[in-house]
Chains A and B, each alone.
Chain A
């Protein structure tokens, strides 16, 4: 009997998603408050290739495209991919498809870090730095405390993660309560709702290195995530050290989610929903789930960000959209009977 090769289908799917994301990115350059025609967008983009002799683009168009829209589009792509890939990795590690990247407290830790920096009136890049450090410290604490407990590693991590989540959330509430109602409170609230509106080139440069490290770790470990989803005993009988490999994968996933939160604030649902969609269309194998999830996450966040900046006359916090559109879509998806 001939066995049909699903790998070819998945390769085609990856190419389609990649092409789709490129097309979506080009369309996204055109979207925004400042109106730029498609022709102007196209000529401005290719102008540097012709030593800027092709057209005399308006300086505003050049600034908006190269300093605002392209960094923002690039950020949406990498944040979406990072949240989706880290969500998929966490779900594999905890053998639970309902786990999201903030299970070990990375989001609430980053939220507390950002809220603290905002309360001290620090500039935006220091808020981002503080968020990154906060996220990493809370995950480190979760891991550190859980190693000193009796139960199995996974249960410990979830218990401590939940506890530290609660502690950070209460500290954020405290900072909001005692903060200045005109500046601090709205700034913290807005940051916690997530937005790509304040993305800067510097912010992208700062987060790109931990993101590359995170993406590389998960890419290298993608086959081992499959093995770890079988449980520790089967993983060990298949020749891998479950504790060591799980720690490495959690480290990579944490780098990704902390960098994403640091860059765009807390953006919900992507880390939970996208891996689920990825599994529906490509299967559970992380070897193919990894690129498909990354591309789906990129595309989804880019679409949401386009809505965030074009739907109303004011910028909509992106988490409102990811939850509003993502949650019903997710329910629709999981309630649909399998063929």
Chain B
């Protein structure tokens, strides 16, 4: 699995929001996209998911332009996990997870017993079988995010795009989601996600893309790219990266915005 973005330009109307974005991800990698609100993080996802068409540049999936894939075929490679949301109708969790099987159905078909079993197995894999018959709209934000991850796994797509998966979640739920993402990465899933929490990429060895006003400010490994200078550049406030020891004596880097 390889996704490559070369010199991407584009936006919603005539003017470009993204100006020359480039990056690539390979099997098992996690790429964090970090930037201020309105910097273009979600817009990048809209191009990756083909909701928008670039005005310039190219996006290659396994060395083929993404527009050459059919909608159904594309969905077998890339799954989208939006921010935890509510559905209008109260589907039960198993229904939501089974929706991930849609790209694998025949054109006019509906899920079979095998698809049902796959959804059941996915819930077991994530340890959330107890939610199977619960109403999705009645779940907490963290639970809904786990269900959306289960739907993406059920989709059998090996590249997951996550739009701020830990937004609005408490520390405990954030940790559950991040551990799940880490396990998925270790089992071969490629993950592209946006976040406002700098401590998350600092705690992992992964890739990061820093953007400001639609332009790429820095791109590379988190250890080399996440510096005070780059963070100050994208957020416009003084920020420190500090090394601290946790209670077990392990060294950790944390981000500290300076309050003036």
Interface residues of A (CB under 8 A from B): 1, 3-4, 6-7, 92, 95-97, 220-224, 226-227, 229-230, 233-234, 236-241, 279, 283-285, 287
Contacts and interface: CB of A to CB of B under 8 A. Distances in A.
A284 B110 contact: no
Contacts of B172: none
A1 B105 CA distance: 27
A3 B129 contact: yes
B50 interface: yes
Interface string B45-59: 010011100000000
Interface of B: 46, 49-51, 71-76, 78-80, 82, 87-92, 94-95, 99-100, 102-103, 105, 108-111, 116, 120, 123-124, 129-130, 132-133, 155
A116 to B, nearest CB: 37
B194 to A, nearest CB: 15
A229 B78 contact: no
A71 to B, nearest CB: 33
A40 B169 CA distance: 69
A289 B103 CA distance: 22
A285 B97 CA distance: 12
A231 to B, nearest CB: 9
Given A1-B129, A97-B89, A227-B99, 4 more contacts: A223-B102, A237-B75, A239-B74, A284-B87
Nearest to B120: A3
Given A233-B51, A284-B89, A287-B110, A4 B133 contact: yes
A92 B87 CA distance: 11
B94 to A, nearest CB: 7
A1 B120 CA distance: 10
Nearest to B100: A238
Contacts of A1: 124, 129-130
A92 B88 CA distance: 9
Contact of B95 (A222, A233, A285): A285
A196 B142 CA distance: 52
A221 B116 CA distance: 18
A220 B109 CA distance: 7
B88 A241 contact: no
A248 to B, nearest CB: 10
Contacts of A220: 108
Contacts of B94: 3, 6
A226 B71 contact: no
A27 to B, nearest CB: 34
A295 to B, nearest CB: 19
A234 B110 contact: no
Listed from nearest, the 4 A-B pairs whose CB atoms lie closest are: A239-B75, A239-B103, A223-B110, A237-B80
A286 to B, nearest CB: 9
Given A6-B133, A237-B75, A227 B102 contact: yes
B15 to A, nearest CB: 17
B88 A229 contact: yes
A283 B95 contact: yes
B133 A279 contact: no
B80 A283 contact: no
A207 B155 CA distance: 41
5 contacts: A97-B88, A227-B102, A233-B46, A233-B49, A287-B111
Contact of B49 (A3, A224, A236): A236
A95 B160 CA distance: 26
B112 to A, nearest CB: 11
B61 to A, nearest CB: 14
B50 A238 contact: no
A230 B136 CA distance: 12
Contact of A96 (B82, B88, B90): B88
A114 to B, nearest CB: 33
Contact of B103 (A92, A223, A238, A279): A238
Nearest to A230: B87
B129 A239 contact: no
Of the listed residues A6, A97, A221, A223, the one surrounded by the most CB atoms of chain B closer than 10 A to its CB is: A223
Contacts of A238: 75, 99-100, 102-103, 155
Contacts of B51: 233, 236
